[in-house]
Structure 1
Amino acid sequence: MRMAFLTVYWRDMIRFTRFRALLFSSLLQPALWLAFFGVAMSSNFDQLTSTVPVPEGVFSVEYLTFMAAGVIAMTTLFTSLFGGISILFDKNWGLMREMMASPIPRTAIMVGISLSGMTKSFIQVTIIMVFGLFIGVTFFEGYSALQVAFAILGILLFVGIFSLGFLFLSSTISMRMESPEGLQGVITLLTLPLFFVSNALYPISAFPPFLQALSVLNPLTYLVTGIRYFAIGSDFFAIGTRYSYTTADILISFAALALFTTAMYVIAWQTFRKAVVT
């Protein structure tokens, strides 16, 4: 029973690979977003900021590279929030009732599905990073092979902790919803503010004060910070703004994500513990 979550995990991964349309769309969508939106926006932003002087001793980063970190974060957010929809399908098909009536702990269901969603996020992040290198994204510029390996592990660590937090949130919402349409409506309501009130596409220093305050509370902001630190560097210049991160900044970002994930786990645990599926 201690490893029951692995059964739930493998079941969800098998379902993911068997739905070919879902598999290919979820893998190709982030690459297409980066290819079309990223390249188009990059040419515009690079032209607009070409006259801004670069501080001495700081290397400049094209907008495509700057935005690629945001696309990784955006994809992780979308994948994680939609990860709980499998719980809703199981509820509607009567499978969740059988699983919750079985001897396995209810937390095993929640953890297994969440780990499956995290694995999907890892796959998509890997695809974005590899594809980005082919279209001009300059991640890991000047890194040694060991530094690249360490940077990739750092990115996956941030993606993993962020993904788990939103997967727990998605599982909580799914257990309280009765229809996929309702779940999609709630997810859409959450994703747009989270994405645009963050540093995924542009610097938050240009935000009005109240949006800057909201961005500080936004977990996506901390994920993007971590990705840029590991993929681009601790000190760079992009779209007219200098970005400088210290080790303390990254530790604070990770701690904020860990706190968010812990809170979401407690809420999801309470929801699963009290849930009644008929």
Structure 2
Amino acid sequence: MSWEFATVFWRDMIRFGRFRTLLFSSLLQPAIWMAFFGIAMSSNFNRFGSFAPAPDGVTAIGYLTFMAAGVIAMTSMFTSLSGGMSLLFDKTFGLMREMLASPMPRSHLLAGIGLSGVVKACIQSVIIMVFGLAIGVGFFPGKTLVGIAVSVAGILIFVGVFSLGFLFLSSAIALKQESHEGMQGIITMLSMPLFFTSNALYPVDNFPLVLKAIAVVNPLTYLVTGIRSFAIGNEFYAFGREYCYTQADILFAFGALCLFTLVTFALAWHSVKRVSLT
């Protein structure tokens, strides 16, 4: 078995560990979202929710808990979209020429970048969950240690598939770019609309029809659904409405993420096969 992708993986992880500013900033942003936006908005949204009490037997959750799942998803998306930047650095500074000239199959380039991105996204997700619990996020209510471990594993599986999809998309874009400014512009153009047209911060039920259609095909929507199901439960009450996730809903969300990942892999594979450096 060929393990050349491990070299790409370890190189990217070492780079991630050495760039402490990048590491801290990637964790500081979600912490600020939860500590400032989440806590500040909780008092307002929770007050609105008090006018519509939860039905009997259904647990009502605060806004901080509701949006914490969205913050995990947001961090995974931003980290994954930036993952292709390392390929652009390699392309710009000539290292990719050496890798393409080596006996390593080009598929291992994608495998190494993808694996490192998934590991980084999972590490960040665990840190955000711990930070959220420390500031009062109501994750894993009434669960034993075994139940919490199963829930965390479920969250990380969703995060892993989602991150892989966006890493492939980012890689496909990076291999066609010539400047870091252009890549950064595309990342910004994609990330903010995807974030705000999902269910990360608020329900999508009252969206205008066009935005609701975007939310339906938005992979972030399905990641947030999976995270909330494992972290909060399959039935809870928030924003004056009852949320009830069935097993079919979770399987559909996971299948949608897998389909998204397969499509973006095809795009990335097409790009890496055609990339040529002179």
- TM, length-normalised to structure 2: 0.98
Question: Which residue is 1:165 aligned to?
Answer: 165
Question: Which residue is 1:41 aligned to?
Answer: 41
Count of aligned pairs between the two proteins: 278
Q: Determine helix, strand or coil for the equivalent of 2:125.
A: helix
Range 36-45 or range 250-259, more displaced: 36-45
Is the 2:26–2:75 Cα contact (8 Å) retained in structure 1? no
State whether structure 2 residue 11 is matched by structure 1 residue 11.
Answer: yes
Amino acid at match of 1:170: S
Cα distance, 1:216 vs structure 2 = 0.7
Q: Determine helix, strand or coil for the equivalent of 1:243.
A: strand
Cα distance, 1:210 vs structure 2 = 1.9
Amino acid at match of 2:115: L
State whether structure 2 residue 66 is matched by structure 1 residue 66.
Answer: yes
In structure 2, what is the Cα distance between the partners aligned to 1:26 and 1:102? 33
In structure 1, what is the Cα distance between the partners aligned to 2:41 and 2:247? 30
In structure 1, what is the Cα distance between the partners aligned to 2:199 and 2:17? 33
In structure 2, what is the Cα distance between the partners aligned to 1:168 and 1:75? 17
Unaligned runs of 5+ in 2: none
Question: Which residue is 2:228 aligned to?
Answer: 228
In structure 2, what is the Cα distance between the partners aligned to 1:32 and 1:232? 21
1:1-278 equivalences in 2 (<5 Å): 2-278=2-278
In structure 1, what is the Cα distance between the partners aligned to 2:277 and 2:55? 60
Amino acid at match of 1:125: S
Cα distance, 1:28 vs structure 2 = 2.5
Is the 1:203–1:241 Cα contact (8 Å) retained in structure 2? no
Cα distance, 1:270 vs structure 2 = 1.1
Q: Determine helix, strand or coil for the equivalent of 2:268.
A: helix
4+ runs of 1 displaced by more than 2 Å?
A: none
Cα distance, 1:242 vs structure 2 = 1.0
The C-alpha deviation readout for 1:217-258, integer Å capped at 9, x for no partner, is 110000000000000000000121211000000000000000
In structure 1, what is the Cα distance between the partners aligned to 2:27 and 2:105? 32
In structure 2, what is the Cα distance between the partners aligned to 1:36 and 1:2? 47
Cα distance, 1:145 vs structure 2 = 1.5
The C-alpha deviation readout for 1:45-101, integer Å capped at 9, x for no partner, is 112222112112111000000000000000001000011101111111111111111
Is the 1:30–1:124 Cα contact (8 Å) retained in structure 2? no
In structure 2, what is the Cα distance between the partners aligned to 1:28 and 1:2? 38
In structure 1, what is the Cα distance between the partners aligned to 2:213 and 2:9? 37
Is the 1:80–1:170 Cα contact (8 Å) retained in structure 2? yes
Amino acid at match of 2:220: L
The C-alpha deviation readout for 1:98-154, integer Å capped at 9, x for no partner, is 111111011111110111111111111011100001110010010112111110000
CA RMSD of aligned residues (A): 1.0
In structure 2, what is the Cα distance between the partners aligned to 1:49 and 1:60? 9
In structure 2, what is the Cα distance between the partners aligned to 1:211 and 1:157? 27
Q: Determine helix, strand or coil for the equivalent of 1:83.
A: coil
Is the 1:140–1:232 Cα contact (8 Å) retained in structure 2? yes
Cα distance, 1:31 vs structure 2 = 1.7
Is the 2:34–2:71 Cα contact (8 Å) retained in structure 1? yes
Q: Aligned residues: percent identity? A: 62
